[in-house]
Structure formats: C-alpha cells, structure tokens
C-alpha cells in the first residue's frame, strides 16, 4: 500500500487510542484538520477583519467553496453538477419534490433500503395514485435484470442505495444507470454508505441524482452533505426552494446590490442552471460546509483508489477472522460488490447476538446491529482509519464472550 494509513490515523484521529471504533457506517469522527478548520471559523464569527459586515458575510459564504471543488473532484463531476445539502434525507426530498409524477406512474426501490430512501415517495401516495414496486431477490443482491423485470412504460424512477446498509451489497450501478438512461427512467441514489470508500465516477456511470451525507464515511459529522445532479437532468427536475443566493448574482455582486437605492423587492428573478438552484439559498450551515470541504480534501489527498484497496483488504481480513471463530459472513466477498460494511451473525438466537453487542459496547468496542426485512446482523465498518489490530481486538473479545456463553456459534442463515 502506497499510503501510510497508520501515520494518518495517529495524526488525525487520536480518539481511536481510547476505544476500538468500527462504526463509521453510523456516524464517524472528524479528523483533526477538520476540527481545526471549524475552530478557526468559530473564531472568525467572533471578529470582523473585513471592511464591513456585508463583506464579512460574503467572506463566510465563500468558505463553502472548497466543499464544491473537492466533491466535484471526488465524483469526477462538473462544478455545476454539485450542490450542498443538509443531509442525505434533504437531498432525497429534493429529488422527490423535483421529479414530477402523475397518477398511474410507478417507482422501483429495494426491500433492503434504509427507511429514508423510499420515505418521501411513500408519503406522496397519500396525494397521488402512484405505485411503489419493491425489488426483492433470493440472495439479497440486486442486478439490472431484477429491475428490468419490474419496470414498465409507467416506471419513472428507480431509487436505491448504491451500497446497502444491512448487507453491504454494492450494486453494479453502471449497468443499472445505462438501463435507466436507455428507458428514460430517473436514477436517484443514496450513496452515503459508498462515497469516500470506493470510487464513484459520474462520467462513467449515469446517475440523475446522487446524494450522500457527510457524517459517515466522509468523516464530517456537521450536518452537510453532497448533492450531485446530472447536468442533462437539471432542466427536468424542478427546484424546491427559491433563495436569493441561488439567483443570478447581480452586477457588482451582492454588496453593491444591497447598497443600490433602486434595488427591487419584486422582480423576475432568474436562476443559473446549476445544481445549486436546489439549495435553500439563504444563510447557510457554514460550519458544516467548511468541515465537509476539509474532509473531502483529505479523501482526495489520500486518493480514492488507495482507500478502496485498503478498505477491501481490511474487509477481507475481517471476514476471515469472523469465520475463524465460527461466525457466518452475510456480506458478499467479491470486492467489486462491497465497500467498508461487513455484516455477520454468530447465533441463531438473536437475543444472544444482542447480548454480545451490549458486552462489546461495555468493553468500548463499537460495532452496530442493523436489519431490514430480516436481512442483517452485526455491522462492522472497515474505514481507512481502521487497522488489523481493531479487528483482532473485536475478535478476541467475541471469543471471550463465546466462552462465557458456553455454546459455539450456530447461525447458518
């Protein structure tokens, strides 16, 4: 591996010396460079080095720019395709409100989604006669053929996670994207469990809308995420909000506009055809955007290919160790179809697995337990700040707990 992940861990995440943390898929820790940037901004809010308050406001807003640049770089997207949102939930709601549906239309999702993925469309059924079709497979893995079998001439949207939160399956989004583009179906994806872990190339793979909150694998738990909207889809998706900062910047900039005695309150405002038209367009979460920019820059500095290789290798080691103590790995082993999430079970009796989880937490070993539609188990997050020792500590603790239980693991799926 060409990158020194141990050195990075020591410099950026001292908190990891106090625990065994394998739960980035829930909410992660900010690196120290991000913390420093947030502290610097907090100091900025207590002073004013600019010429006046208006300039101070504009200067704060400009600090968001790094997040746009780094997100575009990570996704191989054009600058006009990137917006900042509060969260994955925020971005999915923008898609739901922006893509027009009529009575008789249908959308397709999967049975393994986190509740938020289909939620906006579930609520929409109260007002519109739309059908939500659920893709479910025998092996809990999804391919383009599974979606083809459910789609028809009334299918308007496929909305899904790129990587499923409860079994770690990473779908072949290129095949699914090609299918959607060919048939005029909007592809809306939740990439919160993938972005920052494995490579996403929006030039290679077609997405209409992609959204990812920053608080998980991007290590930026400050309430800001990335929204990507394909530039070809921008005219087809209406904006949900109308904020002044989304309008065409007036001549001379906002500072000059505010001081213009002829400035109108009612006007035929225009909006540039960029993804930023979907933002709220008012005073923003500057702290979140600044933090996200720093964390995204770190991912790009390391290189997503380096992260991907490291996370895949660590996940392979994790699965081997789980099986060595009699556990059952639920996550598919093909590295091309997984990211950092490893799902496993030990006991058929779920109460025993719950006891193990509680005991691990008491030992300050942090993993999670997640299920959807009876699929799931222990969720172990293999992030690029983790190492083999983290896995070993978890496995040693599991061995001790198994010995106390006095019964060998018996989960068979």
Give pLDDT tens digits for 177-198.
999 999 999 999 999 999 999 9
Q: pLDDT by residue (tens digit) across 390-407? A: 999 999 999 999 999 999
Q: Residue 350 in contact with residue 383, Cβ under 8 Å?
A: no
Q: What is the pLDDT of residue 299?
A: 98
Percent of the chain residues topping a pLDDT of 70: 100
Instruction: Name the DSSP class of 163.
Output: B
Task: Report the pLDDT averaged over residues 107-116.
Answer: 98
Name the pLDDT band for 353 (thresholds 50, 70, 90): very high
Q: Is the pLDDT of residue 2 over 90?
A: no
Cα within 13 Å of Cα(32), Cβ side: 10
Mean of pLDDT over the chain: 97
Rounded to whole angstroms, the maximal C-alpha distance in the chain is 81
Using CA atoms of 285, 291, 294, 296 in order, give the dihedral in degrees to the nearest 10: -80
Domains of the chain: 5-30+303-405 (3.90.1150.10), 36-300 (3.40.640.10)
Q: Residue 361 in contact with residue 324, Cβ under 8 Å?
A: no
Q: What is the pLDDT of residue 335?
A: 86
Name the pLDDT band for 255 (thresholds 50, 70, 90): confident
Rounded CA gap, 330 and 26, in Å? Answer: 19
Name the pLDDT band for 254 (thresholds 50, 70, 90): confident
Task: Report the pLDDT averaged over residues 86-94.
Answer: 98
> What is the per-residue DSSP string for 173-240?
HHHHHHHHHHHT-EEEEE-TTTTTTS---TTTS--SEEEEESSSTT---SS-EEEEE-TTTGGGS--S
Q: What is the pLDDT of residue 413?
A: 84
Q: Residue 107 in contact with residue 155, Cβ under 8 Å?
A: yes
Name the pLDDT band for 258 (thresholds 50, 70, 90): confident
Q: pLDDT by residue (tens digit) across 219-231? A: 999 999 999 999 9
Q: pLDDT by residue (tens digit) across 285-337? A: 999 999 999 999 999 999 999 999 999 999 999 999 999 999 999 999 988 99
pTM of the model: 0.97
Q: Is the pLDDT of residue 1 over 60?
A: no
Task: Report the pLDDT averaged over residues 233-245.
Answer: 95
Q: pLDDT by residue (tens digit) across 113-154? A: 999 999 999 999 999 999 999 999 999 999 999 999 999 999
Task: Report the pLDDT averaged over residues 65-93.
Answer: 98
């Amino acid at each position: 591996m060409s990158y020194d992940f141990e050195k990075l861990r020591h410099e950026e995440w001292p908190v990891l010396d106090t625990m065994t943390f394998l739960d980035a898929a829930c909410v992660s820790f900010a690196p120290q460079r991000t913390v420093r940037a947030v502290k610097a901004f907090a100091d900025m809010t207590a002073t004013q080095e600019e010429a006046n308050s208006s300039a101070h406001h504009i200067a704060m807003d400009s600090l968001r720019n790094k997040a746009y640049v780094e997100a575009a770089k990570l996704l191989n997207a054009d600058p006009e395709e990137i917006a900042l949102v509060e969260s994955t939930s925020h971005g999915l709601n923008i898609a739901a409100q922006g893509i027009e549906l009529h009575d008789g239309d249908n959308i397709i999702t999967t049975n393994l989604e986190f509740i938020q993925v289909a939620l906006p469309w579930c609520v929409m059924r109260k007002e519109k006669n739309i059908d939500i079709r659920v893709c479910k497979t025998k092996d809990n893995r999804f391919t383009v053929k599974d979606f083809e079998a459910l789609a028809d001439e009334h299918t308007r949207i496929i909305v899904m996670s790129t990587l499923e939160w409860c079994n770690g399956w990473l779908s072949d989004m290129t095949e699914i994207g090609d299918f959607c583009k060919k048939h005029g179906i909007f592809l809306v994806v939740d990439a919160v469990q993938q972005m920052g872990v494995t490579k996403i190339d929006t030039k290679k793979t077609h997405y209409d809308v992609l959204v990812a909150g920053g608080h998980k694998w991007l290590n930026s738990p400050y309430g800001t995420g990335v929204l990507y909207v394909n530039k070809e889809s921008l005219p087809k998706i209406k904006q949900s909000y109308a904020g002044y900062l989304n309008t065409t910047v007036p001549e001379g900039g906002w500072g000059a506009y505010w001081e213009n005695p002829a400035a109108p309150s009612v006007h035929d405002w225009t909006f540039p055809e960029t993804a930023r038209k979907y933002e709220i367009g008012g005073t923003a979460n500057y702290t979140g955007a600044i933090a996200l920019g720093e964390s995204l820059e770190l991912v790009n500095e390391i290189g997503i290919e380096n992260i991907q290789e490291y996370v895949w290798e660590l996940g392979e080691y994790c699965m081997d160790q789980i099986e060595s103590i009699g556990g059952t790995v639920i996550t598919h082993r093909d590295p091309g179809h997984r990211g950092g999430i490893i799902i496993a079970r030990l006991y058929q009796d779920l109460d025993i697995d719950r006891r193990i989880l509680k005991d691990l937490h008491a030992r300050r070993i942090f993993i999670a337990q997640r299920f959807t539609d009876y699929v799931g188990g222990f969720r172990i997050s293999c992030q690029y700040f983790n190492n083999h020792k983290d896995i070993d500590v978890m496995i040693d603790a599991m061995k001790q707990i198994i010995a106390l239980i006095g019964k060998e693991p018996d989960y068979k799926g």
